[in-house]
Structure 1
C-alpha cells in the first residue's frame, strides 16, 4: 500500500520540501519561443497548488516580516583594561618608585629612512605645487618678439627671434626667425628648451665648473620668470643681449590677469635700408651673339633668347635688297659688286657676291644672316643697323669691310614709301635715285648695261632673286 505523500503532510515552508523520487521528467521551462524565425518571450505557465498548499501560501503572504525576522541587538560588553594601560606609564612608574631619565627623541632608523624615500620616489605622487601648475598651465605658452644681439661685430646686425616661455614647467626656448637671403646657416634654435638662471648662489669654491655641470636649485637662487621678460627690457643670456620688443595677445592677457600689468610698451625695430644691389655684367667677349652670351650671366642654366614672334609673322619673307660695291684700299678688291639683303623678320643682314666673268672669283656667300653692329657703339649696349641707315650712297661697315650702297630693289621703294614717316631721308634718297634711273632709261638705248643687282625693278623679280640668293 502506497504511503501518504510527504509534500502534502508537511507544511510548505523552506526546508520542509522534498524531491519526488518518482519524477522522471526533468525538463526546464523555456522562456523564449520562435515564431516565423523571430524570438518571442513565452508566457509563464501557472503553478497549481493543492488545497493545503494554497491555504499555507495565503497565510505566508499575510504574515508581517518584522514578526519573523527581528533586528539583532548587540550585547553589552564591558571594557577590562589593565592598570598600566589605564594610567600613564610615566605616572605608574613614578608611583612604583622608579627613577626616570630625561625624555629623548627616538633615533631614526637608516633602513626605514632610505626605504621610505625610495617608496615616495617610485610610488608616491609628485609634489603638489608642480603638479597643480602642470594641470593649470599645460599647453599654455607665452610668446615674445625679441632681437638677438651677439657681442661680436662679425655676427652682423641683431637677428629677429621668438622666445617661448612654457608656463607648465617654467622653461623657455629662443628660436630665430628665418630671413630671405640672410647668408646664415639654417640653425634657428639659439637656445633649446630649458630653465635659465637669473641669480646664482655664491659658492666658496671658485673653481666650481658651473658652465659644465647642470644647474639645480642648490646652485641657483632665482630662476628667470615671466616678470623678467616685460617688453622694453634687455637681458644678458649666455653672453648675448636679448632685447624684448613685443608680445602676443595671450601674453598680454596673462600679464593683465595674473600680474596686474596693463600698460606694456612696444618697441618697433626698423633696420636701416640696405643699399640696392647692382648687377654688374662682365664685358662682352665677342663669342656668339650678345643676347646669347648674356643668358650665361642671368641664369645658371642658359636659356635661349626670346624672340619677337609677332614681328617674325608680320614680316615673313620680306627682304630689302640693295646693290653695293666694296670700298677697299686693295686695288684687286676695288669695284667688287655685292648684294646686301636686310631681313625684316629678325633685323639681320646677309651679303652675297654674284659671280662676274673674267674676274677670277667664284662669288657666293660673303656673310650669312647676322645682326651687324654700328661702328663706334658700346659692346655692352650695341646699336644695330636698321633700314633707315641703308640709304643710297651711304657707307656701312660690316666687320671691318666698307660697302657703298649704289642701288636698291623696287620693293625697297614701296616699303620705304609705306614707312616714310619713320625713315624720311632714306625714302627721299631712294625716290631720287629711282627718278634719275627712270630718266636715264628713257634717254639711253634699251641695251644699256647696268649692274645685275639693279636690274630687277618689279616685286616678282625681286622675290625671285631673293630666293636665288638664299639658295646659294
Structure 2
C-alpha cells in the first residue's frame, strides 16, 4: 500500500495540494425509494467516498443565519423603471388582418343559375377592433360591388358581443348581418400575427367558384355526325301504333293535394311520350287536354346536364345517357316523369298484345285503384267548460242551433209530483252554523235537488231558498263523465257534499220511509237499517210516554180537557206545524223531553203565548221533576 505523500501538510493559503493518488471521483447517491415513492436523502460521504466535514456552527448561529435578511446588508432593492405606455392606436397603427372569404347568394328568378358565389375580402383593423367587408369589383358584372359593409365593430351574437381577432380563423363560417361568410385563407402578415398570439390556424381551403362563370369559360358545343340508325324504317313500321297506359298521380300527402287520373301515350314511331288529363264532369278544372306535350323523355342525364337551360333549349343526345323506352312502362309499377310519380294501373288490349309479342310478358293484370271511403271520424266532445250541465253543453257540438237534451218522458210521468224530503244539518267548524237545519227535496221525476232553510227568528241568518232545483254531482267524479246523487245516497247519517258544503242527513218524512219500503232494491242494507232504527226510536218514546202518563198521572181526563180548551182558544195560531219539528231537532236522543231553557227559547221564537193562564197550567202539568218538560203533550195543544 502506497502512503499519501501530502498527508498531514497544513492547508495554508497557497500551500493546498492535490492528492495525486486519488482515483475515485464519483458522487454519492442523493435519491432513494420508500414505499415505491422517490425521496431525497442526505449524502453521508463526499466525492470519491471522502469524509464530509462536520458543520462547526451551533444551532443558535444557524438560526441567526436563517433569519438574517439581506436587506440589512445591501439595502432596499431598486425597482425596475415601468415600461412606457403605448396606446393601441399607436401600437397597432396601420396593422390590418386580411382574410379571403366568400358567401352564397340565391338567384330565384334566373333560368340560367340557381345560386351565385361572391368572393370578398374581410379586413380586421387591430387599432380599434373594427371590420369591413369589401368585394373586388368585376367589370360588367351588373352587380353592385365594392364596399359591402363599411368599417365598424360587428356584433357577434344577440347579447352584444363583438367579433375579436381571436374569433377569426381559416375554415370557419361567420355570420354578419344575416349573411354567412366562409373564411378560406389569409395573408402572410395575418398568419404570422395569429401564430405569434398562440392561435393554431386551420389549413387553408380552396376558394369556391361561381358555377355560371365557370360555365361561360367552357368552349362552345361541337356538333357530331348523327348515328346510322334508320329512323325512317321505324317511322314506316310503327306508324299509328300507340301504347296507351292508364295512370294516377297521388298527391294527397301535400297540402290541397288530391289523386288525379291521367292517360299516358307512348308513340312507337319516334319513342315520344304524351300525358293527357282525364276530366270529369263538373270537376271545376280548366279543360286543358294535355299535361305534357308529345316529346322524348330523358331517363338518365349526364352529370353536367343539371345546369343545362332546359326551359330555353331542347335536350339533345349529348346531355342524355338513357331515354325512356317501351320497356320502362309496366303495369303495376310507379314511373317518375319530370318530377311527378305516376302509378300505371292498367293498359288497353293493343298494349297487352304488344308486350306479349315484344317482351314475352303474357299477363298484365290491372290494379284496383278505386277510391275507398275513408273511415268515419269518431266525434269527440271537447272538455266540459263548466257552464250549465254536461248534457246541455254537449248539445252545442251536435248542431248549429243547439236543442234541449231529450228527457225520459216515461220516468217523468211515473214519478210526477213525487218528492223525497230529508232534514239535514250543516257540517261546519263555525259555531253559528251548528244549529242551522236544512230541508232537502229530491225530485224523482228529474233527479234534481233543492235545499230550503227554514227561517229562525232572531238567529241572525236569513233563511229561505238555499239552492234551486239542480242536479248535484258526487265528489271524486270526473268532469267529462259526472255521477249524480241518486235516492240510494240519501239515508240517515249519510254525508251529502253540495258544491263544497257538507250536510249530514238527520231525519226523513213518512213518505220517504214508505218509498224505501216499496223500493228496497235502490238502497243499500246500511240505508235500510238506518231507517228501521229511526222508526223504532220514534215509536219507543211515544209508547213509553203514554204508559208513563197512564200510570203516574191519574188526571188524564183533566189534561185532555185542557188541551181541547187551548186548541179552541188558539185556533188561529199560524206556526202550529213547525213547533213539533223545532222540539224534535233539539231532542237529538228522541226522549220526548227538553230542558226548561230550551223549551222557553223555542216558545219565544214561535211567539207562543206562555203568559196565558191555560198555557201556564199546561206547562205545569208537562213539567218533570228533573228540570225537563215533556213537549209531547204540549205540542198536541198546538197541532191539528
Q: What's the TM-score, normalizing by structure 1?
A: 0.49
Q: Which has the higher contact order (CA 8 A, sep 6+)?
A: 1
